[in-house]
Each structure stands twice: as structure tokens, then as C-alpha cells.
Amino acid sequence: MTATDSAVVDALVAQNARYRESPARDRNIAALRDGASAVVTGQQAGLFLGPLFTTYKAATAIALARKLQADRGAAVVPVFWLQTEDHDLAEIATCHVAPSRGVALELRLPAGDEHVSVAHRVLPDEVSSRLDELHGALSHMPHAGEHLDRLRRHYRPGTTWGNAFAQVLAELFGEEGLVLLDPRDPALAPLAAPVHRRALLEARPIAEALRAQATSPVHVREAAPLSFFHPDGPEGRRCRLVATGEGYAEVGSGLVHTEKELLDALDRHPLSFSTSALLRPILQDTWLPTAAYVAGPAEAAYFAQLPPLYAAFGLTMPAVVPRIHVRLLEPKTHRALDRLGLSAAEACGTEEEVLARATVHAGGSEEGDAITRPLLQGFQRAIDELVPTLLAAGEGMDRAIEKTKASVETAVSRLLAHYAKASRHRDLARVEEVKRLLDWLWPHGVPQERVYGISYFAAQHGERAFLARVLEAAGSLAAEPVDLPL
């Protein structure tokens, strides 16, 4: 692991100077210049910071940097990599707000399929209307003003998605000195060129090594480079390349470029290339002395695919540390759990699963012996009386008898399942309680942290107070979900 190149640090100084002043961040950038290592995490620039797990990744990186610094007795700096190279605007153009007064809110901005890196996409006029909707939903909360004012300062029509996201994130974690890095900075483009050059020149052996991996969550095309090409310039469309007999063809248009043409384009306009999901960690660890990367579950899976790529670039893979998983428990959530007799973990799953657990805790039975016993016993007595007659009919009757028994048992089991479901749903109050609980802890069938953004919690509890609780939870670096009462 080497020290951060001075040109990278210079770019970090210039980038982070655009954000609200943070002495802690200035000290961390200076520490990188002096040889500090880094704990890195990153995420796409989601609307109003996107889902809660973005906040949890930043908090985990900060907590891990503190721990490594204490363990090593040497400076370790948390760095957030802004994934502004990505072009999937539709994936980040929606923000979900946790239920206020019983109603959840979905905020969505238009997102065309233009395949342009989000670094070069600006917020549309509609962002003002979405902020008005957010104000309408949260303005009654005690700390809404501070949070909504911050969002309005930065999420303005004409502002780039990346800058709005970065400004808010930098302010929220200014006290912790979180350093932000935007790879689409023109000042950094020449420093990325050697990575893209090797990705082009060694595309075939790199692809073969990656395709040979037993675990390959990210598909790798044969002989295809891991760089995206922007044939119309840095702010134009972003194209994957596939190998052809004449060179490399753009996926979609089919336009072919020779290897020399691509290398010449790289020399003239290095920002006309950007990294794929697999190449991004290589660029990251070429620029930064990364001690650890804080990853979400999907990222951790594709990092397992990367040893051959790190070997091809002569780099040592950093430790991959999972971000914390948090279940936020409001007082009303606690009360609902108590009424249903459930733990937070038991309240995560499908509605039927959670309702079944709540029914059992309420003293109900999921066994249904009173129904199944007489049905099956009566059938068994009847079939036993008929067995001699049936067997006398000839060969194969023994198998037919056993098959019939199994069919009847299956049919009775299905009848019992329908009965149990109907019984559970008779208690309408319990059903509604479970639905409200799932809206909080397991919305849309996934964990809370993958759906709701920070806004409700910041407005209700205050930004700093909420972040302090999250940072405290992140200090455990727990692999299992952490229940965080608020």
C-alpha cells in the first residue's frame, strides 16, 4: 500500500473545498497527503441521499476508520466514492419517505434512458415540486425545518445530481471529516487513463480470468474491456464495448472502433472513458491506499470475483467489510411489537408469515389437530377396511393405495392451510396492526433500509441526533441486523 499521489490529493482538496467548511475533513485530506491509509465506501447519487443504507455505509466507513486508526496507531481516513460515472438515472430518481401520519410518500423525478453518466445530468424543474411534497408530509415534525432547508439549498433545478448529493452528505458528516471523491473530475481523468489503457490492451486475458471464476455475479463478455467508452465526448452516451474481428463494437449501435482509435481517444480525452462495476475498485485502489472497503451485500459478492483483476493490475485487494444493517424502531413500532408479542426480527417477512407468528403469540394454534385428526383418522379406518378387497384386484394396487393416502394427506393439509389463513384474518385489528408494522420494518417485501430515505428520521429526531445514534450503532461493526430504538 502506497501513499496517495499528490495529484489525487490536490484534486480532493479542490473538490472538497466546494462543500461547507469542515476542519475535520481538511485534516483528513492532509493526512492522506502525509501517507494515511483509507477506508472507502461509495454509492450512487440518489435523490435526497437515496435509501438509508447510503447513510449506513458512510457511518460504517467512519466507524471502521476510527477502529483501524486506534488499532494501528496511524491515521486512517474515511472516504466516500461518489459513483457519478454510473448512467442508470432511473435507479436513483425515486425517494421513499417513511409513513408520516400513517401515509408513506414516494417522490419521483423523470429519468430518460440516455445512458449519460449522472455526473453530467442536472436536476429538472420538478425537483422543486418534490421538495414541496416533502415539506407537506414532514413540516409538522419538530426538526423538519433544518433538514428541509438543507435539501432546498442543494437540490435545485439545474444542479447536477452528483453535486446536490455530495453537498448534503458532506454537511451531514462534516464533523466526522468524511472525505468525498468524485471520479468524473476532469483533473483526475489523466490519472485514470493508465487503468483504462491496461483494461483495453489486456481485455482478452482479463476477461478470460474473470470468466473462469467459479463465482461470477457480474457477467463478463468474452474479450470485452471493462471500461465504458463515451464516443460523443465525456458528457455523451456511455457505451459498453464488445470484441469483434476488427476491434471493439459499441453495444447498441454496433459501430466498430479499432484498438488504436480507442487508445488515441483515451490520449486526447481521457474523460471519454469510465469504469464498470468491476473496474471501479481497481481505479479506487490505484488512487488510494485502501485498507478496507465497506460494501453492501451485492458489492461483497462481486468483490469475490475480483482477485484475478487485482492480480492483472498488480494490486493487493483490500479487506471487504460489510456495512451495518439497522432496523430503526420508533416508539410506535415498539408498542406495536409489544401488542403483537413479536421481536423486530419476527416482524420481518411476508404478511402471512408475520401474521402467523403473531397468532401463535396470541395463543392461537397453527396445528389444527382438531380438524386434521378426525378427517385423517376416519379416512384411515375406511381405507384399512377396504385394503383386502383392493389388493385382491391385482398387481399394482398396493402402490395405488399408498398414492391415494398421500394425496388425501396433501389435500387435508391444504384445507388446513386455508382454514388457518382464514382464521388469522378474522382478527381484523391484528391484521391491520401487522400491515402497519410491515410498512415500517419490511416495506415492499424488503428491509426498511433499502426503501426509506433519511428525511422522516431527520425531521422527527434531528439530523445530528439521528446520525449520532447511527454512528454509535456502526461502532459495533456487527454483521447481523442491529435494532436501533429511537
Q: How high is the pLDDT of residue 359?
A: 80
205 and 303 together in one domain: yes
Q: Say which residue the cell 385489528 belongs to.
A: 429
30 and 130 assigned to the same domain: yes
168 and 112 within one domain: yes
pLDDT at position 82 is 98
CA-CA distance, 405 to 380, in Å (whole number)?
A: 8
Same domain, 362 and 407: yes
In this structure, the answer to whether residues 316 and 354 fall within a common structural domain is no
Task: Tell me the β-bridge partners of 77.
Answer: 38
d(CA 326, CA 174): 22
| pLDDT number for residue 215 | 67
pTM summary value: 0.86
N residues, the chain: 486
Considering the domain architecture, whether residues 71 and 166 belong to the same structural domain is answered as yes
Whether residue 272 lies inside any domain: the answer is no
- 483 assigned to some structural domain: yes
In a shared domain, residues 97 and 44: yes
In a domain, 78, yes or no: yes
Taking only Cα atoms into account, the Rg of the chain, rounded to an integer number of angstroms, comes to 28
312 and 441 part of one domain: no
The sign of the dihedral angle between the CA atoms of 424, 428, 430, 434 is: positive
- Cβ proximity of 104 and 98 under 8 Å: yes
Q: What is the pLDDT of residue 361?
A: 78
Query: What total number of domains does the chain contain?
Result: 2
| 346-351 long-range Cβ contacts below 8 angstroms, 24+ apart | 347/434, 347/437, 347/438, 347/441, 347/442, 348/441, 348/442, 348/447, 349/442, 350/445, 351/434, 351/435, 351/438
Per the CB < 8 A criterion, the answer to whether 159 and 187 are in contact is no
Give the pLDDT confidence score for residue 15 in this predicted structure. 97
Residue 257 belongs to some domain of the structure: no
Cα separation, 211 vs 291, whole angstroms? 27
With vertex at residue 481, the alpha carbon angle to CA 476 and CA 482, rounded to the nearest 5 degrees, is: 50
Q: What is the mean pLDDT of each run of 10 residues along the chain (486 residues)?
A: 83 97 98 97 97 98 98 97 95 94 92 90 97 96 97 97 98 98 97 96 90 74 90 94 90 92 95 95 97 94 90 94 96 91 92 85 60 70 80 81 81 69 66 90 94 97 97 94 93
Q: Measured between alpha carbons, how far is 318 from 292 in angstroms, rounded to an integer?
A: 5
Domain extent at residue 161: 1-215+277-325+447-486
Q: Which of 38, 295, 292 is nearest to 181 (CA)?
A: 38
Distance in angstroms (rounded) separating the CA atoms of residues 59 and 482: 14
Contacts of 300 (CB under 8 A, 6+ apart): 320, 322
Q: Do 363 and 421 share a domain, yes or no?
A: yes
In a domain, 168, yes or no: yes
Which amino acid is located at 184 in the chain?
Answer: R
Distance of alpha carbon 227 from alpha carbon 243, whole angstroms: 12
Sign of CA dihedral 449, 455, 458, 461: negative
Same domain, 192 and 307: yes
Angstrom distance (rounded) from CA 284 to CA 181: 10
CATH assignment at residue 85: 3.40.50.620
CB 227 within 8 A of CB 209: no
Contacts 24+ apart (CB under 8 A), 390-395: none
Query: Do 432 and 470 belong to one domain?
Result: no
**Cα distance between residue 122 and residue 469, in whole Å:** 33
Task: Please answer whether residues 79 and 89 qualify as being in contact, where contact means their C-beta atoms are separated by less than 8 angstroms.
Answer: no
Whether residue 239 is contained in a domain is answered as no
Three cell numbers, residue 481: 441486523
Identify whether 7 is part of a domain: yes
Same domain, 339 and 478: no
Pairing of strands 76-82, 37-43: parallel
Q: Report how far Cα 1 is from the mean position of its chain's Cα atoms.
A: 28
Does some domain include residue 260?
no
- Is residue 340 within 8 A of residue 433, CB to CB? The reply is yes
pLDDT of 428: 74
Cβ(137)–Cβ(131) under 8 Å? no
Cα distance between residue 473 and residue 127, in whole Å: 32
Task: Give the residue from 176, 73, 177, 180 showing the smallest Cα distance to 472.
Answer: 176
